[in-house]
Amino acid sequence: MPKLLKFGLKVDSIYNEVGEYTNNGGRGAVMLTHVMLSNSILRRSFTECKPLRLNKLQKLLFFTSYQYLLLTREIPFSEDFICENHGPVSMSVALAFKEYGNGAITKYGLEGGDVSYLADEEKSPAIHDALDAVWCKYKKCPAFFLSFETHLWGSAWWRAKKRDGRNARITINDLQQGKWFTRIDSK
């Protein structure tokens, strides 16, 4: 089981997938990345033996990000989602898992060479709650069903696509004004 990266705190050290202690090179605060959050989703997938394909992982990542926004009124990433025909896409996640094509993902995504990171859910209860709520609600849903959810009238994807067409950036404003997705209570 991988050790977890401290989320949202100034850290000087982190642990990689095999539990080796590494120095963060004095870079200070570490942002949560789309690949990190995807790895946290995959941890649930691997634990429950529920294989995920990239298309579904992208949807779960988007819903988790939006759920986190609803819980905290904060966006945990500096990276945006892009409007693709099948829904919101994180380009870093698409690149990290491109080797799987349409097959099931079997390993964590790598960042910075050959290291995999996960969000530290113990240090960030809001990330934990967002991940759990989205996973519990959508883990059994097929990806095409989740595409229907992302494409609803008034959704963040719909707003960005209407404004700028294909490959539009989904902005924070799109996310904040989207009324299509309601907070999921995980309890």
pTM: 0.81
pLDDT at 11 over 50: no
CA 44 to chain centre: 13
Between 177 and 57, the more confident residue is 57
Q: What is the largest CA-CA distance in the chain?
A: 47
Q: What is the spatial distance between Cα 99 and Cα 171, in angstroms, rounded to a whole number?
A: 28
Domain ranges of the chain: 13-177
Q: What is the pLDDT of residue 116?
A: 84
| Token pair of 142 as six digits | 């097929």
Three-state DSSP state, 57: helix
**Strands (DSSP E) found in the chain:** 13-15, 21-23, 81-84, 87-89, 169-170
Share of the chain above pLDDT 90, in %: 42
Instruction: Write down the pLDDT at residue 88.
Output: 93
**Measured distance CA(127)–CA(119) in Å, rounded:** 8
Would you state the structure tokens that stand for residue 60, as one six-digit string? 């779960």
C-alpha distance from residue 171 to each of 51, 87, 163 (Å) = 30, 14, 11
Instruction: Please give the residue that has the higher pLDDT: either 8 or 145.
Output: 145
DSSP bridge pairs for 5: 119
How do residues 61-100 score in pLDDT, each as one tens digit? 999 988 888 888 877 777 889 999 888 999 999 999 999 9
- Report the distance separating Cα 119 and Cα 63, nearest Å: 16
**pLDDT at position 60, please?**
96
